[in-house]
Amino acid sequence: MIDSHAHLNDPQFSADLAEVVARAEQNGVSGIINVGYDLLSSQKAVQLVEEYPGLYAVVGVHPHDAKTWDSSVEQAIADLAAHAEVLAIGESGLDYYYDHSPRDVQQAVFRAQLALARALNLPLVVHSRDAARDTLEILQEFSDVPCVLHCYSGSWEMAREYLKMGHYFSIGGALTFKNADRLRSVISQIPIERMLVETDCPYLAPVPHRGKRNEPAYLALVVRQLAELYNVTVEEAAAITERNTRLFFRINEED
């Protein structure tokens, strides 16, 4: 299994990161993709690649921090993206739930990171919350940039539009929540060949760990729920989602 979206660069892991990585390996996680959400966390994600085999990085600025984006940040992100183990730009997108950055700024920075991904020939990891229509319209402007809709929580109608564009979807612990019947219904309609699995740790821990710090070792709980939705074995779900992750992020089998 590959955890396609983690934040081991988060300060919550500063005291026991080595143990967290070891537990992940012991629980069948062969790779962890650490995703940046601002410049500092993106730098940390690249640093972790140097320290731990099997870790990869994604670098970018989250919509919460879009207000920090300027030409110097853009250049720094581009420089980080030159590292061999940096797989994508992100997470970038729109978040109208919290509005920590003005919406027009979020949109401009989303477009800037899509343009950067295009220029660097890299895919992009998308964050979208309460901004479904604007997210779709901006992604349609950059239809040549491969994207994964991280922690997807949108409608089937919107998912269908993304499928037409060739995009992928990633799902995590929310799939196991008791009140997630709508989400499970939507995900079950998306072809498994377009699905990745993630933890989004330290957030969104799956049942029975909900409310606690999440970590990559819990990824198997997400895979188990996904297997039930698609009526395949856990082993099949793990193998298919790992293959999808390698395809989307262009990870070689020997890595």
Please give the domain boundaries of the chain with CATH numbers for all domains. 2-249 (3.20.20.140)
> Could you read off the pLDDT of 127-162 as tens digits, one per residue?
999 999 999 999 999 999 999 999 999 999 999 999
pLDDT of residue 45: 98
pLDDT of residue 252: 86
Q: Tell me what the mean pLDDT of segment 157-183 comes to.
A: 97
pLDDT higher than threshold 90 for residue 111 = yes
pLDDT of residue 254: 64
Q: Is this prediction's pTM over 0.85?
A: yes
pLDDT of residue 162: 98
Local structure of residue 194 (DSSP, 8 states): G
Report the chain's mean pLDDT, rounded to a whole number. Answer: 97
User: What SS3 state is found at 142?
Assistant: coil
Residue 239, classified by CB atoms within 10 Å of its CB into exposed (0-12), middle (13-18) or buried (19+), is: middle
CA triplet 108, 78, 199: central angle to 5 degrees?
A: 80
Q: Are 7 and 34 in contact (CB under 8 A)?
A: yes
> Rounded distance, CA 73 to CA 21, Å?
29
